[in-house]
Chains A and B, each alone.
Chain A
Amino acid sequence: MAASTIMKKTGAALVAPVGWLAALIDPPLRALQKATGLNGMAAFFLAPNMAIFGIFVLFPLVINFAYSMTGGSALFLSGRTYVGAEQYERLLTCENYLDKRSCVEDLFWNAAGNTALFVLFQVALMTVVAMITALILNRELRARGFWRAVFFFPVLLSPVVVGLIWRWILQRQGLLNYLLHQFGIDQVLWLTDRFWAFAAAIMVSVWAHMGFYALILLAGLQAIPKDLYEAAEMDGTRPARVFWRITLPLLMPNLIVVIVLALIRAVQIFDEVYVLTGGGPGTSTMFLTQYIYEIGFAQLIRNPGLAAAASILMGAVLVVLTLLQLAASRRNQNAGAAK
């Protein structure tokens, strides 16, 4: 028997069960479509996804909101006392909003202030470094594929691994201080000095995630038509002017995506910094997510209501950031369409 015939028969045998299944479900689906119409069928096919979304996203969100309106240390809603907006009031009450120590829940304001500062510096640094990396990787380098992989590799690492690696490097008797010692420089307490610990948190976070954002920018750079650069070169335009007049404007859609994604990720920062500094020294690298974790889970006397209220407030900030991203994307799309 010819090979092609065998292949045809095997293929038919493999496809046959699909046909049988289709024949089996076709009549009830037709009946359903007749009864519910096209919209009903759409709802039918969306139902599994909506159920997963409802159970694992929407339902916990509602439950979380319900928790934020309760007090006590009991874990289950049935054992908790309804307190209305008391937890929000506790989080947001300060005698003087310029002095976080005057706030009832000063640790929350500490964490919120740290998160705001972290977002500001980390996103700025992340964007600049990712941009520089993308510009370099976009050039005709030897072993360009290898270098792209090198910069992307940290993205693949678990945040816990990232935190541990950098803790070994930065701790008092770590690799960095050993190297400094070899050059006769005094050791620096990278993780126990408030300034250096905060700087380390930013630097490690940039190192861990920069590859992902560089990749987005690289894709944008490669989409810019080469003839624009050739024309600029023929006109003798300086490289800096080429960057500001051609590269940056044409890269703006990708740049906005990078900034907004980095912004959202920075607000949610927890894992690698928690492993690296534990939130210390003092509370100088304790961010909102760690505050919520500490209050709701880590302490022996837990306060799930306060943790839930803090997470709702943090969620509100994330919603605003997401809306900003949507607005920026739409504006870019509209600008693109107008051109």
Chain B
Amino acid sequence: MKTMQSAVLALTVGLTATAQAFAGDVRVMWYSDGVEGEVIQDLLNRFMKDNPGINVILDNVAYSVIQEQLPIQLEAGQGPDIARVTNIKALADHWLDLTPHIADPDYWRTSFGPQADWMRPDGSDAITGFMTQLTLTGGFANKTLFEQAGVEIPGEKATWDDWAAASAKVAASQQLPMAFAIDRSGHRISGPAISYGANFIAADGMPAKLDDGAKAFIERFVQWNADDSHSKEVWVSAAGSTYRAAADDFINAQMPFYYSGSWQVANLSTKIGDAFDWVATGSPCGPDACTGLPGGAALVGIKYTKNAEDVGKVMDFLAQEDIVKEFSERTLFLPAHKGVVEKGLDFQSDDPNVKAALNVFVKASSAVAPNAAALPAWKWASAYYNALVTRVSQVIAGEMTLEEAYTSIDSDIADAVAEASR
């Protein structure tokens, strides 16, 4: 049986693993949403010039490779030396503890401390990497459409109901097919649900049953889809947990309000250009909070590397304050580095909408509710997101009632936890 298992493992690894680094090489698996691939290559070239003995190879891959292939490589004890990942907590057992390989662990703890728990196993004090980008969910409004409709953009403390009503007015006035849309993602509706008082984490750290706060937001969300103020197409255009962004409709000025997140800023700036003016709005309020959901992408060392010392040197270089600052300013990403945030950034964009939008997200990050701040470091968040998106979509499509969906969400989460805990 052992021989058989080894054969299976060898075959699978052979079929799925990418080339491992040779001694002296450091392979970095990297995905890009925008220009960050070019920026990091530029920074790594600088590193290699100063460290001729270390050859850093940047493997630019599709995001799906990070999501679907990297976990298989990691399970087989394979993979790159460093990777840029978003499923940070669930795979934390595979990250390398950089502490013995970096020059000054205290610098790392001071600079990236608040997110350290997001990327290490519960109870560990390992330093496994740092966030290349912090994200926060939040909204965007088409300022031009609001002005044309003569409707005032709702203010800072405006509620979800205020935004839905104002957007509906603009849509009616400008004869738009929809008033607003939230990306099809369990993650995206979790911030609003928390604003309505939802708490996903029970006292024992396990998933709590869907509470009244979450139900209050889901009920509203379903109603907005039923009365066509929310773009029905986004949420019913797929089954299961498939992600669907609604950015294209906002970019094409088909709706006045779009709820997504800070990572869209560069995308909106590039694609909208000067077609219309847009602003970031932060997250609308519920009775409990006005919170978005934090998250982001981390750069982590991989436990199975054969060049841990060199990995430490590369990570040390990329985590330097001036390098993080340059990376963030050139990519228009929100940094996680405490010093960089405190000293401020000069984002490199000619688009006046960009700087204003990023400032709104920086400001909104200080208003994140504790229940939302806890989710990135919570192991079972994915189970919650999967169940939410699958079942809420079914309600919107008319396949089940809200009550049936609530029961199914609870049982789906319980099943996922039970299966993953075997």
Query: Using a CB–CB distance below 8 Å, which chain A residues touch chain B?
Result: 63, 71-81, 83, 101, 106-107, 110, 171-173, 189, 191-192, 194, 277-286, 290, 294, 297-301, 303, 305-306
CB-based contact A299/B75 at 8 Å: no
Answer yes or no: B239 CB below 8 A from chain A CBs: yes
B5 within 8 A of partner (CB): yes
* Interface SS of chain A: loop
Q: Take A77-B8, A286-B239 as given contacts and tell me if A301 and B408 are in contact as well, using a CB distance cutoff of 8 Å.
A: no
Chain A nearest CB from B187 CB (Å) reads 10
A290 to B241, CA, bound (A): 12
B394 interfacial by beta-carbon distance below 8 Å: yes
Choose one: A76, A81, A189, A280; the contact of B238 (CB below 8 Å): A280
B residues 81-111 in Cβ contact with A at 8 Å: 87, 90
Whether A280 pairs with B237 at a CB distance below 8 angstroms is yes
Q: Which of B90, B396, B419 contacts A303 (CB 8 A)?
A: B419
Q: Shortest distance in angstroms between B232's beta carbon and chain A's nearest beta carbon? A: 5
Chain B hits for A191, CB < 8 A: 233, 237
Indicate if the CB atoms of B240 and A282 lie closer than 8 Å.
Answer: no
A101–B416 Cα distance when bound, in Å, is: 18
A298 to B71 Cα, complex, angstroms: 12
* Distance of A294 Cα from B72 Cα, bound (Å): 16
Complex partner residue of B87 from A76, A106, A282, A300, CB under 8 angstroms:
A300
In whole angstroms, how far apart are the Cα atoms of A334 and B420 in the complex?
A: 54
Among A72, A173, A280, A285, the residue within 8 A (CB) of B393 is A280
Q: Give the CA-CA distance A285 to B239 in the complex, in Å.
A: 8
In the complex the two chains form, is A299's CB within 8 Å of B241's CB? yes
Cβ of B9 and Cβ of A76 under 8 Å apart? Answer: yes
Closest-CB distance, A204 to chain B (whole angstroms): 15
Residues facing A in B370-416 (CB within 8 A) are 382-383, 385-386, 390, 393-394, 396-400, 404, 408, 416
User: With contacts A75-B72, A189-B232, A300-B386 known, is A281 near B397, CB below 8 A?
Assistant: yes
Q: Tell whether B49 is near chain A: CB-to-CB under 8 Å.
A: no
Q: Is the CB of B71 within 8 A of A284?
A: no
Closest to B76 in A: A76
Q: Is A301 touching B397 in the complex (CB atoms < 8 A)?
A: no
Find out whether the CB atom of B382 lies under 8 angstroms from the CB atom of A301: yes
- Evaluate whether A286 and B240 lie within 8 angstroms (CB atoms) in the complex, with A77-B8, A301-B382 already known: yes
Q: Mark B1-20, 1 if CB is under 8 A from A, else 0.
A: 00001001100100000000
Name the interface residues of B234-283: CB closer than 8 Å to any CB of A. Answer: 236-242, 244, 254
Can you list 9 residue pairs at the A/B interface with Cβ under 8 Å?
A76-B8, A101-B404, A173-B254, A279-B239, A280-B393, A283-B239, A283-B240, A283-B394, A300-B87
User: Which of A279, A283, A294 counts the most B-chain CB atoms under 10 A from its CB?
Assistant: A283
* Distance from A201 Cβ to chain B, minimum over Cβ atoms (Å): 12
CB of A158, distance to nearest CB on chain B (Å): 18
Residue B177 at the chain A interface, CB threshold 8 Å: yes
Residue of B nearest to A294 (CB): B240
Total CB contacts across the A-B interface at under 8 A: 122
Which residues of B are found within 8 Å of A277, using beta-carbon distances? 237-238
Question: How far, in angstroms, from A189 to B177 measured CA to CA in the complex?
Answer: 12
Report the separation of the CA atoms of residues A300 and B236 in the bound assembly, to the nearest whole angstrom.
Answer: 20
Query: Considering only CB atoms and an 8 Å cut-off, how many residues of chain B contact the other chain?
Result: 41
Residues of B contacting A301 in the complex (Cβ-Cβ under 8 angstroms): 90, 382-383, 386, 416, 419-420
- Chain B stretch 191-221: residues in CB contact (< 8 A) with chain A: none
Determine the residue in chain A with the shortest Cβ distance to B67.
A300
For the complex, give the distance between the alpha carbons of A83 and B236 in Å.
35
The reply to whether A281 and B237 form a contact with Cβ atoms under 8 Å apart is yes
With A and B bound together, what is the CA distance between A284 and B397 in angstroms? 9
Q: In the complex, what's the smallest C-beta–C-beta distance from B274 to chain A, in angstroms?
A: 23
**Contacting pair A101 B237 (CB below 8 A):** no
Residues of A within 8 A of B398 (CB): 194, 281-282
* Contact residues in A for B5 (Cβ distance below 8 Å): 76-78
Complex CA–CA separation, A77 to B404 (angstroms): 35
B343 within 8 A of A: no
- Our pick among A75, A106, A278 for the contact of B239 (Cβ within 8 Å) is A278
Q: Is the Cβ of B397 less than 8 Å from the Cβ of A194? A: yes
B68 within 8 A of A: yes
Known: A75-B71, A280-B393. Contact between A172 and B177, CB under 8 A?
Answer: yes
- Other than the given A294-B240, A300-B382, A301-B383, 16 more pairs (CB < 8 A) read A63-B8, A72-B419, A76-B12, A77-B5, A80-B422, A107-B390, A192-B232, A192-B237, A278-B237, A279-B240, A282-B398, A283-B240, A299-B382, A301-B90, A301-B382, A303-B419
- Residues on B with C-beta less than 8 A from A283 are 239-240, 393-394, 397, 399
Instruction: List B residues 316-345 near A (Cβ within 8 Å).
Output: none
The smallest beta-carbon distance between B69 and chain A, in angstroms, is 11
CB contacts (< 8 Å) of A172 on chain B: these are 177, 233
Per-residue contact bits, chain B 128-166, to A (CB 8 Å; 1 contact, 0 not): 000000000000000000000000000000000000000
What residue in chain B is nearest A75 (Cβ atoms)? Answer: B75
Closest to A287 in B: B239
A83 surroundings in chain B (CB, below 8 A): 422
